[in-house]
Chain A
Amino acid sequence: MTTAKSKATNSKTTPSTPMHSSDSLPSLLRQHAEYQFANELEELAKADTRQRPPNWKLSPWAVATYLLGGTLENGFEVTPKYIGNRRLMEVAIATLATDRALLLYGVPGTAKSWVSEHLAAAISGDSTLLIQGTAGTGEEAIRYGWNYARLLAEGPSMAALVASPMMRALSAGKIARVEELTRIPSDVQDTLITVLSEKTLPIPELNSEVQATKGFNVIATANNRDRGVNELSSALKRRFNTVILPVPDSIEAEVAIVHRRVESLGRALELPAEVPALVEIQRIVTIFRELRNGVTLDGKTKLKSPTGTLSPAEAISVVNSGMALSAHFGDGSLKASDLMAGLVGAVVKDPIQDQVVWKEYLETVVKEREGWADLYRASREML
């Protein structure tokens, strides 16, 4: 068997060079992390004198700083991407440095994909080698497909091969990302085993293989709520280091997360409304935390929890939609009535059960709470 790490394949399948040149950037709805934070990555690389694992753009220390934020020696401020437990991020980075695959696990909306994107951006400078896991994800999405016209015309050859993001990451020594791993059918999941343990992707049709270059690794994300859908086989599970991302511990952390993201999203979406006051965000976060934990923040009243997860990600989208409403239909400043539409939509996922939960919450908590009368009135109008 020849171990042809064919140059031809490489040149054909170099990581999809972004279709946007720098002058066309502003028109994009959402930029990849490595472009959005290109400035920070560049500064970090300049200041980074520590040892880098092979093919890493930054040293593990610098990656940690990129994720968690901090001030460089030259005074450059790096914004935090992940607000939460420092140790978790350190474990994640250390895992990737030991060439073990990383599995980020947690309830929906706990920044799993966000962390995986930024890790890939900081380590490989490329967060686009992405495989989205769905029930329909096939083996070719993880291994390779064929360009059938060429296959018929020229017969099987490297040139007729269509490489998957995984294959490209392997040959380029970059980080591949698998989103929603547990959504992928089990037999397809197990394709990963060879890649993860032998660090190679065999191509039996050509009697060849693509071997991993140093720096290759996989970050997968999976969802707590989907437990049991396509449970990982123990052989595959064993090849991942698992980091569980929790919902934020404290209300301060959650407010900080929502505020930061709303600010940056608002800028990206060019919303004319100004970033809402912290008070408004605090209210939203309070409602989410109370409903999620099933108890009021003062710990005195028990509440029913709705069926949805009510993660910080949803809080962010509620505030965002509120901002859009107030900008386009209101007076530009965020009001309770602007928030309410999004809020009800986020909480009431099941029209019958959650409606009861929400009404109870309104009557027992919102109505009584001082200074929340506007919210209560707005919600009465909604229902």
Chain B
Amino acid sequence: MSVHVFGIRHHGPGSARSLRQALVALQPDIVLVEGPPDAESVLPLLADSQMRPPVALLVYVPDHPQQAVYYPFAVFSPEWQAIHYGLQQQIPVRFMDLPQTHRFALENADPSVDILADILAGTLASKPASPTYSDPLSLLADAAGYSDSERWWEHLVEQRQDSTELFAAILEAMTVLRTEVEQADGLEPLEACREAYMRKTIREAEKQGFQNIAVVCGAWHTPALVKMPPAKSDHALLKGLPKLKVEATWIPWTHGRLLMNSGYGAGVESPGWYQHLWEVGEQTELISEQDRNECTLTSSVLAAPSLSLRSQTSIRWLAKVAHLLRQQDLDASSASVIEAVRLSETLAALRNRPLPGLPELNEATQTVLCFGDPLPMQLIQDQLIVGERLGNVPEETPMVPLQQDLQRQQKRLRLKPEATEITLDLDLRKPLDLERSHLLHRLALLHLPWGKPQSVGGKGTFREAWRLRWQPEFALRLIEVGIWGNTIESAATAWTCHRADQATLPDLTQLIDQTLLANLPTATTHLLNRLQSEAAIASDITHLMAALPPLVNVIRYGTVRQLETAVVEQMIHRLVARICIGLPVAAAALDEAAAAHMYELMISLHRAIGLLQQPPVSEMWQQVLIKLADQQGLHGLLAGRCCRLLFEAGVFEMTDTARRLGLALSTATDPPQAAAWIEGFLSGSGLLLLHNPALWQLLDDWVMLLPADTFTALLPLLRRTFSTFAASERRQMGEQVRQAGRTENGGQPGELDTDSADAVLPLVAQLLGVVLS
């Protein structure tokens, strides 16, 4: 009976390949992998033909899905290869880390009562993690003269061609390192528990009579698993750990989320490069195997010694780079690729490396293919070095019904989740596009921003543009909102209704807009009911005014989106009635800021009522506007706007409007009020002024009458109004002013002096070569 411990780094193609070779050589009868035993039920899915990494194991607390943990795997993860090997050989594969059921419970435990500390009291000293502990490899890398522990590991382990003795060497190094670190800092309590559980799993396997046990774990843990302390102390550590119900599943993952800087602790810097290393390795192995088996002419040509793994790697990589550059319309000839390969190999030799690594290849690319320009390198970083891609999980993966529904919908609507950003243009007149839009809006309601709406140019309300990008966390969010329903539609409805019950009037109006776009009739009805009851008790007239435009939208979009609008119409009538009754009081005695707010509301309300095109409503609104225009003490801004709106609607005659303007500008009115009135009246378009000389004259007279001081004081207010006009309008006004001035000065165009004109005619005729008749 023997236990073999393989120390690995979590993502590394070299480790992965060495591990697989070692396992093939060892022929174990059980494989134990560092991972959550809670997820053992979904483990067999890994060998499914539809499973395509990068994927992640998701372990979560079903009652509280926010509490979750991911275990990402790429094809070049050694754990992935170990499990794959075990499943293929049909030998038991087990996870052996401390189960998440305990770890979640520990996290939840009241921090004042530190269970772990209690357990460990007397056995181990608990000390805060020191910086060396967080990256123990850096100690070794420092000693070897490397600045970066990842580079060091890559050169020593990942790029190694010959893997014999590798794992023994790792074990040796780690043993020395651990003794040093533990002497200095002690062991973290959680780490101690995890290792105790790993040992426990190994002991169990031994007890069950497995003869050849392969243990795959992070390099750091290897010494603790080789030298087994008495079972009793481990039992003591693990006794009485709290528990929590957890569930596990597979979810698709992305390369971007494997990155170190995405916040993933065991992340790598270049998943795309690792993927490349792994794939090239696979191909070379395949070819050499064929070569051994068949020894045909073609295969021996392909596997010629010159095409060994080492040169394959850089050649294929640079060929990919050239391909990418060509796609972007940048010149990249094969001759340049040849030179880049040569340069990268010379650079590697200069730096005493056995073969070019990513830094050498990048430098060669920049120097040869990009003519020294660093800009295209960014492209290569994004597209190749990270190499964004989204994994795939088989259909049989346990999923909450909501996830399954989403997958069905995605398939039906032909919307594939992708890790890179894609844009989608929808024509809402087509049924398929309309349904897609509904789905995206529903997901947005559920806080799953898969698509981000973009503003579209062009006319018509039937177009929608989206930017789609799938994030791995959406899977968790789906589980989280799974409690609201089993289909996207029902969940979105239930969730919206739930939110509606707590929302205030302004929030409700926002929600109704979104719900409408998401085509959730039940939720819309519920929202309308809520809106009605909220509106009934709402005392704030501004809230009511804000609520109306979205409701008008309901009617407006109703035809495109096939909605029942009768209820809404009824409600609009009621709302308008209430607004019209309340507005004169609400608009009285407002200060500057409140008046500005009211002004905005009034404009949007007016526009909404205009859209509605229902004479009774418009009638009612006009009446209240007339009332407001005559109301004493109304803020100038509002009074002016009322006058303008009524004038445009044809209710006020030209003479009437001129009279009102005259009144507003008369000396009895405070000049600032008068200026505000002008702002309200003119703001937005100056055409009115241009085409009505009477109004123009009134305004002109008023300005002329102002004392110099008051004029200076009012100038900013007037400027504010006039700056909203279009440039051409302002120019025309300027011209009008100038002309008016000239007329007053008597600058009539003089009569032609025919005598002087005649004098030059002969010369002009001579110049033009014509004879004067």
Contacts and interface: CB of A to CB of B under 8 A. Distances in A.
B350 A94 contact: yes
A95 B343 contact: yes
A241 B350 contact: no
Contacts, number: 58
A244 B371 CA distance: 9
Interface in B196-250: none
A357 interface: no
A97 interface: yes
Which range holds the interface residue count of chain A? 20 to 34
Interface string B320-336: 00000000000101011
Contacts of A61: 350
Contact of A87 (B339, B363, B368, B373): B363
B372 A94 contact: no
Contacts of A241: 339, 343, 367-368
Interface string A223-241: 0000000000010011011
Nearest to B363: A91
Nearest to A104: B372
Interface in A327-346: none
A273 interface: no
Nearest to B336: A238
Given A95-B343, A98-B339, A234-B331, A90 B350 contact: yes
A93 interface: yes
A93 B335 contact: no
Contacts of B171: none
A64 interface: yes
Contacts of A105: 372
A90 B346 CA distance: 10
B738 interface: no
B292 interface: no
A241 B373 CA distance: 11
Contact of A98 (B335, B346, B371): B346
Contact of A93 (B350, B364, B371, B372): B350
Which range holds the interface residue count of chain B? 20 to 34
B704 to A, nearest CB: 44
Contacts of B347: 90-91, 94
A241 B364 CA distance: 9
Contacts of A103: 372
A95 B363 contact: no
Contacts of A91: 343, 347, 363-364, 367
A294 to B, nearest CB: 20
Contacts of B346: 60, 94-95, 97-98
Given A60-B350, A87-B363, A90-B350, A244 B336 contact: no
Given A105-B372, A234-B331, A238-B333, A98 B342 contact: yes
B354 to A, nearest CB: 16
A52 interface: no
Interface string A39-83: 000000000000000000000110010000000000000000000
B343 A98 contact: yes
Contacts of A93: 350
B351 interface: yes
A95 B339 CA distance: 9
Given A60-B350, A61-B350, A94-B350, A237 B371 contact: yes
A231 to B, nearest CB: 11
Interface string A299-314: 0000000000000000
A242 B350 contact: no
A94 B374 CA distance: 19
A146 B350 CA distance: 42
Contacts of B373: 242, 244
Given A87-B359, A90-B351, 15 more contacts: A90-B347, A90-B350, A91-B363, A93-B350, A94-B347, A94-B349, A95-B346, A95-B367, A100-B339, A234-B331, A237-B371, A238-B336, A242-B368, A243-B367, A244-B373
21 contacts: A60-B349, A60-B350, A61-B350, A64-B350, A90-B347, A90-B363, A91-B343, A91-B364, A91-B367, A94-B346, A94-B350, A97-B346, A98-B342, A100-B342, A100-B343, A100-B368, A234-B331, A238-B336, A242-B368, A243-B372, A244-B374
Closest 5 CB pairs of A and B: A242-B372, A94-B346, A244-B372, A94-B347, A98-B342
